[in-house]
């Protein structure tokens, strides 16, 4: 490390750069409440710090003396509890583009070992982002915490030189990384020696790797995109160095539309970044039995076989770790397992409700017993028990937190008991028992949270569903206005609302539409209400014609849904995925679709688009986006969509396929390559394009270099080959692809126009 880098990094630990004085081989620095006086020497071009009798290289002195990383390792071990029953799942790895030029995943038997190896590589000259992906409750947080503990122990034993620091985000859409990082270091790990700037400096040095847990990139399919901007800003600060781990349900480069990825790509500011992905598989029989053995639970093989015979080996309660744990707690002491398992053999929308109710019933009958009188009686009924948990979830949601201080838990519980006229004796017992509930867990010594985010989401959904059944429009607005409710909440709200009153679906939809009348297109209320409406309508038998007006629908609303007999009027659809979707006798009027992504098993019957705008359609083997209105209409008409003229208007001409230039589709494939690495080598293009590579290198590449879309950058690897990067905002490239109407020459004309600021 040279003197200038040493000064720059050391200044990040001080209140102001003026607190560092380096002159005549002497260092004087004020760091927090400590004055440091040391000598500086130069050995083989690198700075060496001598303080007292200690003499060490500048990097080691910064890490150990100033940043106190060994103490951070101890804090991590204290804050993250040891999980003796941890079972490493299997998974699939899509490595960095230079190591895996194709999009094929590689199977890995142990996700923890693969994660450690990938993070340990820490390539120089590039900011490395590794996505750890899976569905909810499939082990992302557990895997991260296990690796963080392992690295902290290894660091303490001087067997590694980096730490993994978990930073829980809780699925926030509006975030500032400096706030959440500082909050995690201070409040969760009780470590107070790092400012955000010094934390970033350590990340760039490769000493610390942050693991952002709960980074829900699905939100970049909405109108906001704050999460993408926050990540882009972080990568700019890293300045082509350091590594970051992101736990999410989907990696950003998995989205099909270029306009979606551009929200992150364009915030990178030209920095060199490479992306990789580790996808966690659901548990198999072996992981189930391994967990039982480590948790020292008996007869689990018999439990597994019984559960498989009733539920099937792919049922969520056997394959998702968070549910396996609860299943064994409920089934192990039970004398009638078969009956409990039969209750879980329901539709996918209902099994979670039955599962939670089973856990609650065990609490009510086995633990929450009032023994002050004779005979002993349950303190609360099952319904009251669920209502209490719903109140706690509602308080967390309204307060925008996943934890509640014990004082607030006591307040909510006491208010609940007073509303139901419970005696003081019962109230005291309920306030004591709630702190040890099977679905709650201590966040620290002063607060409680739900054992998993899905339990919080489930009870929040019950609160919304109950408000719908009471047609309480004010409460519905209050619950939906702050942010988009999770998918589990949407399903739970719809299930709760219609469980006994299918004939009231029209009334529920009316409440939701009325609540959104004065809201703008990007309103969280409109987005959440749209999702609940689709869940209410899914699979309805013999429906009357229903009208949904003025709502918004997020990306996966229609995936695997069966919608029959609905009129959508003046609705907005974010990039919409149609996969295993059935639309029958539906009509869309004055609606707008950002994009329609066509997947397998789509059934469209008697569906009409009247004065509807569709900005793009993705479908086909090459996943090229159709932007030309004629091509879009022709593609949808082929699926069975009718385009009748509005009342009083002339009958439109039948859709024509339009002119499709294959060079536009090839150009889009090339641009998508940059989503996994901002700089791409020539041989990567040759491997990815296959038989299309001569057309690209001989035709498209000279054109793209000439108009300034691509530029050649220095190649630093072994051998000799070219290396390229995109030189204009990806959003501008996507706009040109959309506006060129499928014509390659028109695309080149648009991107070659002078841009503002190019003078």
What is the per-residue DSSP string for 531-549? HHHHHHHTT-SSPPPEEEE
Within this chain, do residues 107 and 236 fall inside the same structural domain, yes or no? yes
Runs of H (alpha helix) within 570-654: 629-639
Runs of H (alpha helix) within 266-381: 285-294, 300-311, 316-319, 321-331, 337-344, 348-362
Within this chain, do residues 88 and 170 fall inside the same structural domain, yes or no? yes
Q: Is residue 196 part of a domain?
A: yes
pLDDT at 172: 57
Within this chain, do residues 7 and 107 fall inside the same structural domain, yes or no? no
> 212: cis peptide before it, omega within 30°?
no
Q: Is residue 431 part of a domain?
A: no
pLDDT at 657: 53
113-125 pLDDT, tens digit per residue, is: 999 999 998 888 8
Report how far Cα 148 is from the mean position of its chain's Cα atoms: 20
Quick one: pLDDT band at residue 184, thresholds 50, 70, 90? confident
Within this chain, do residues 246 and 126 fall inside the same structural domain, yes or no? yes
Within this chain, do residues 274 and 293 fall inside the same structural domain, yes or no? no
pLDDT at 228: 62
Domain boundary among 635, 655, 675: 655
Q: Could you write out the DSSP letters of every residue in 363-393?
A: IIIII-EE-SSSS-EESS-HHHHHHHHHHHH
Q: Is the pLDDT of residue 655 over 60?
A: no
Question: Tell me, what DSSP letter sits at residue 250?
Answer: S
Q: Is residue 493 part of a domain?
A: no
pLDDT greater at residue 304 or residue 450? 450
Within this chain, do residues 695 and 733 fall inside the same structural domain, yes or no? yes
pLDDT at 16: 84
CA atoms within a 13 Å half-sphere pointing along the CA-CB vector of 600: 1
Q: Is 648 left (phi over 0), alpha (psi -120 to 50) or beta?
A: left
**Mean pLDDT confidence for 76-104:** 88
Q: Is residue 425 part of a domain?
A: no
**CA geometry: angle at 146 spanning 143 and 148, to 5°?**
110
**Mean pLDDT confidence for 422-431:** 90
Terminal CA-to-CA distance of the chain, rounded, Å?
A: 39
Within this chain, do residues 646 and 676 fall inside the same structural domain, yes or no? no
Quick one: pLDDT band at residue 11, thresholds 50, 70, 90? confident
What interhelical angle do 524-537 and 505-515 show, nearest 10?
Answer: 170
Average pLDDT, the chain: 84
Q: Are strands 46-51 and 34-43 parallel, antiparallel or unpaired?
A: antiparallel
pLDDT at 219: 47
**Mean pLDDT confidence for 610-634:** 80
pLDDT at 755: 59
pLDDT greater at residue 296 or residue 475? 475
130-159 pLDDT, tens digit per residue, is: 999 988 778 888 999 999 999 999 999 999
**710 vs 701: CA distance, rounded Å:** 8
Q: Is residue 442 part of a domain?
A: no
Number of other residues whose CB lies within 10 A of the CB of residue 623? 15
**749 vs 464: CA distance, rounded Å:** 52
Report how far Cα 60 is from the mean position of its chain's Cα atoms: 36
**637 vs 117: CA distance, rounded Å:** 49
pLDDT at 501: 56
Domain containing 215 equals 71-280
CA atoms within a 13 Å half-sphere pointing along the CA-CB vector of 404: 25
Q: Find where tokens 């409920």 sit.
A: 330
pLDDT at 122: 82
Within this chain, do residues 286 and 260 fall inside the same structural domain, yes or no? no
**Mean pLDDT confidence for 599-618:** 90
Determine the 3-state secondary structure of 422 from DSSP.
coil
Runs of H (alpha helix) within 170-266: 177-183, 196-205, 226-238, 258-265
492-514 pLDDT, tens digit per residue, is: 998 888 776 566 888 888 899 88
Q: Structure tokens of 725?
A: 């990067």
C-alpha dihedral (53, 54, 56, 62), degrees to nearest 10: -130
Q: Structure tokens of 488?
A: 């589990």
What is the pTM assigned to this prediction? 0.84
**Mean pLDDT confidence for 683-705:** 89
Within this chain, do residues 75 and 204 fall inside the same structural domain, yes or no? yes
Split into its structural domains, the chain has a count of: 5
pLDDT more than 70, % of the chain: 90
Q: Structure tokens of 233?
A: 């800003």
Instruction: For residue 453, give Cα distances in angstroms to 100, 168, 213, 456, 480.
Output: 34, 12, 12, 5, 18
Within this chain, do residues 97 and 199 fall inside the same structural domain, yes or no? yes
Within this chain, do residues 692 and 554 fall inside the same structural domain, yes or no? no
Domain boundary among 328, 345, 362: 345
Within this chain, do residues 116 and 215 fall inside the same structural domain, yes or no? yes
Contacting residues for 302 by C-beta, under 8 A, at least 6 apart: none
Contacting residues for 73 by C-beta, under 8 A, at least 6 apart: 151, 152, 153, 155, 156, 163
Number of other residues whose CB lies within 10 A of the CB of residue 71? 12
Q: Is the pLDDT of residue 465 over 80?
A: yes
Instruction: For residue 420, give Cα distances in angstroms to 13, 386, 753.
Output: 55, 14, 70
Domain boundary among 611, 629, 655: 655
Contacting residues for 304 by C-beta, under 8 A, at least 6 apart: 285, 288, 289, 292, 318
Report how far Cα 396 is from the mean position of its chain's Cα atoms: 20
Report how far Cα 621 is from the mean position of its chain's Cα atoms: 27
Q: Is residue 530 part of a domain?
A: no
- Which CATH number is 122's domain given? 3.40.50
Q: Is residue 323 part of a domain?
A: yes
Quick one: pLDDT band at residue 759, thresholds 50, 70, 90? very low
Q: Is residue 114 part of a domain?
A: yes
Quick one: pLDDT band at residue 390, thresholds 50, 70, 90? very high
Highest mean pLDDT (candidates 57-66, 158-167, 535-544, 725-734): 158-167
């Amino acid at each position: 490390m040279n003197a200038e880098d040493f000064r720059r990094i050391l200044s990040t630990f001080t209140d102001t750069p003026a607190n560092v004085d380096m002159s005549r081989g002497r260092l004087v620095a004020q760091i927090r409440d400590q004055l440091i006086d040391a000598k500086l020497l130069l050995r083989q071009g690198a700075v060496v710090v001598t303080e007292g009798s200690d003499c060490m290289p500048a990097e080691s002195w910064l890490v150990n003396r100033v940043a106190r990383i060994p103490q951070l390792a101890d804090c991590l071990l204290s804050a993250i509890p040891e999980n003796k029953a941890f079972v490493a799942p299997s998974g699939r790895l899509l490595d960095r583009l230079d190591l895996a030029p194709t999009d094929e995943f590689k199977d890995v038997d142990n996700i923890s070992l693969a994660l450690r190896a990938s993070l340990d590589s820490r390539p120089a000259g590039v900011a490395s982002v590794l996505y750890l992906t899976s569905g909810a409750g499939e082990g992302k947080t557990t895997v991260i915490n296990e690796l963080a503990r392992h690295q902290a122990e290894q660091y303490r034993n001087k067997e590694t030189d980096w730490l993994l620091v978990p930073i829980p985000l809780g699925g926030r859409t509006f975030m500032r990384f400096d706030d959440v990082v500082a909050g995690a270091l201070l409040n969760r790990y009780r470590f107070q020696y790092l400012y955000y700037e010094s934390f970033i400096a350590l990340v760039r040095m490769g000493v610390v790797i942050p693991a952002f847990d709960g980074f829900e990139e699905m939100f970049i399919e909405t109108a906001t995109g704050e999460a993408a901007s926050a990540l882009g800003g972080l990568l700019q600060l890293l300045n082509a160095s350091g590594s970051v781990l992101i736990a999410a349900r989907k990696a950003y480069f998995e989205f099909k539309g270029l306009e979606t990825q551009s929200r992150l790509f364009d915030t990178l500011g030209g920095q060199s970044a490479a992306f990789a992905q580790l996808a966690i598989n659901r548990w198999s029989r072996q992981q189930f039995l391994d967990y039982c053995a480590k948790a020292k639970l008996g007869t689990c093989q018999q439990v597994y076989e019984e559960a498989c015979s009733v539920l099937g080996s792919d049922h969520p309660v056997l394959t998702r770790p968070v549910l396996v744990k609860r299943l064994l707690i409920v089934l192990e002491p039970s004398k009638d397992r078969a009956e409990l398992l039969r209750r879980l053999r329901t539709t996918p929308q209902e099994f979670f409700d039955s599962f939670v109710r089973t856990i609650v019933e065990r609490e009510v009958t086995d633990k929450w017993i009032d023994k002050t009188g004779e005979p002993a009686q349950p303190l609360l009924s099952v319904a009251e028990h669920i209502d209490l948990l719903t109140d706690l979830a509602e308080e967390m949601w309204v307060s925008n937190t996943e934890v509640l201080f014990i004082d607030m838990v006591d307040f909510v519980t006491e208010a609940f008991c007073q509303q139901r006229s419970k005696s003081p004796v019962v109230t005291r017992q309920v306030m004591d028992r709630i702190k040890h509930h099977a679905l709650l867990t201590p966040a620290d010594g002063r607060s409680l949270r739900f054992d998993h985010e899905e339990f919080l989401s489930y009870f929040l959904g019950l609160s919304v569903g109950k408000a719908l059944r009471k047609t309480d429009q004010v409460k519905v607005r209050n619950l939906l206005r702050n942010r988009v409710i999770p998918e589990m909440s949407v399903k739970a709200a719809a299930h709760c609302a219609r469980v006994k009153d299918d004939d009231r679906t029209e009334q529920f939809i009316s409440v939701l539409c009325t609540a959104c009348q004065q809201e703008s297109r990007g309103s969280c209320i409109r987005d959440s209400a749209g999702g609940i409406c689709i869940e209410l309508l899914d699979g309805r038998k013999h429906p009357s014609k229903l009208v949904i007006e003025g709502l918004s629908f997020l990306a996966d609303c229609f995936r695997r849904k069966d919608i029959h007999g609905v009129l959508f009027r003046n609705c907005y659809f974010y990039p919409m995925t149609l996969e295993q979707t059935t639309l029958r006798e539906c009509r869309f009027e004055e609606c707008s679709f950002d994009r329609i992504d066509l997947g397998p098993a789509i059934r469209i019957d008697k569906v009409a688009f009247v004065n509807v705008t569709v900005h793009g359609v993705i479908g086909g083997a090459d996943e090229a986006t159709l932007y030309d209105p004629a091509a879009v209409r022709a593609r949808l008409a082929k699926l069975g969509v009718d385009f009748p003229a509005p009342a009083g208007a002339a009958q439109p001409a039948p859709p024509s396929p339009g002119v499709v230039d294959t060079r536009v589709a090839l150009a889009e494939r090339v641009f998508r390559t940059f989503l996994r690495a901002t700089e791409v080598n020539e041989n990567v293009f040759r491997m990815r394009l296959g038989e299309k590579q001569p057309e690209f290198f001989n035709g498209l590449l000279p054109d793209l270099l000439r108009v300034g879309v691509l530029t050649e950058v220095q190649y630093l690897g072994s051998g000799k080959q070219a290396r390229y990067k995109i030189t204009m905002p990806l959003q501008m490239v996507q706009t040109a692809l959309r506006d060129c109407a499928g014509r390659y020459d028109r695309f080149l004309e648009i991107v070659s126009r002078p841009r503002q600021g190019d003078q």
